[in-house]
Amino acid sequence: MNKKIQLQDLGKKDYKSTWEYQEEIFKDIVDLKIKNRREELELPTPNYLLYVEHPHVYTLGKSGDLENLLLNEKQLEAKGATFYKINRGGDITYHGPGQIVGYPILDLENFFTDIHKYLRFLEESIILTLAEYGLESGRSDGETGVWLGVGTPFARKICAMGVRASRWVTMHGFALNANVDLGYFDNIIPCGIRGKGVTSLNVELGVEKVNEEEVKAKIIKHLSELFEAEFV
C-alpha cells in the first residue's frame, strides 16, 4: 500500500489539456495495476492530487442534461467560455478564475475500496476547511457537494464534485468557489438543480479576496488526516 500522494499545482491551465493529462496519469495507474495482476507483481501504484485554475469553461457529466446549459455556441464565445461533455458523474458545472479545482487521481486500493466513503471524505475535507473560516457547511440529501444553509430557503452551493472511477482508480474531483465571479453560474442550471443558489468563499466572508494558497493548504491538511496520507 502506497499512502503517499504527489501534489502537483498546475497553476492556470485550460480544461482540455488538463483533462488529457488526467487521463494519461489515470491510464498509467490502471495499466500498472493490470500488469501487477497479470505478472503477479507488487509494484506500488502512485497517487496524485492536481490543483488547477481553469479559464471560463462549462462541463457536462455523462448523466447530465444539455438543456441545463443556457447558452448557445455564439453566446459561449461572447462570454469567453468553452464547453465540454465529459466522463465524470454529475450534471453541468462551471469552472473559472478564482475557483480552487482539485483532481485526486488515487488508487483507492491504497486506502479503502468504497466510492461512497471516498466522496464523503472529499466533502468532509471542504466542510472542515470552511469551518476554519467560521462557516458552517454540510451535505444536502441526494446532492453531491458542499452547501451552506442546508434545509433553509437560502441553501447555496459552494463546492461542486464529480468523479469517475475504474478499477478503483479515481479522476476528476472538486471545485471550491473561493473568489469566483458568480455571474457565470447564471448561464447554467448548476448541477441540474433548480431553485438553489451558488456562492463563493469571499462573498460569504464579506471580503474582496481570500488567500487561495492558504485555502489549498488547509484542504491538503484535512485530506491528509482523513486519508491517513502523506503529501509529497
Give the pLDDT confidence score for residue 232 in this predicted structure: 97
**Spatial distance between the Cα atoms of 109 and 163, rounded to a whole number of angstroms:** 16
Higher pLDDT, 221 or 151: 221
Burial track 172-202 (b if 16+ CB lie within 10 A, e otherwise): bbbbbbbbbeeebbebbbbbbbeebbbbbbb
Domain of 82, CATH number, reads 3.30.930.10
Count the domains in the chain: 1
Rounded Cα gap, residues 188 and 78, in angstroms: 15
Counting residues of the chain whose pLDDT is more than 70, the rounded percentage is 97
Can you give the pTM of this predicted structure?
A: 0.93
Q: Is the dihedral of CA 85, 22, 138, 119 positive or negative?
A: positive
Q: What is the pLDDT of residue 71?
A: 86
**Catalytic position from the list 155, 191, 215, 219:** 191
Residue among 163, 157, 84 at smallest CA distance from 119: 163
How do residues 201-231 score in pLDDT, each as one tens digit?
999 999 999 999 999 999 999 999 999 999 9
Please give the average per-residue pLDDT across 165-182, as a whole number.
Answer: 96
159 is catalytic: no
**pLDDT reported for residue 193:** 54
Q: Which domain holds residue 128?
A: 4-231
When pLDDT is averaged across residues 26-31 and rounded to a whole number, the result is: 98
> What is the pLDDT, as a whole number, of residue 194?
54
105 forms beta bridges with 48
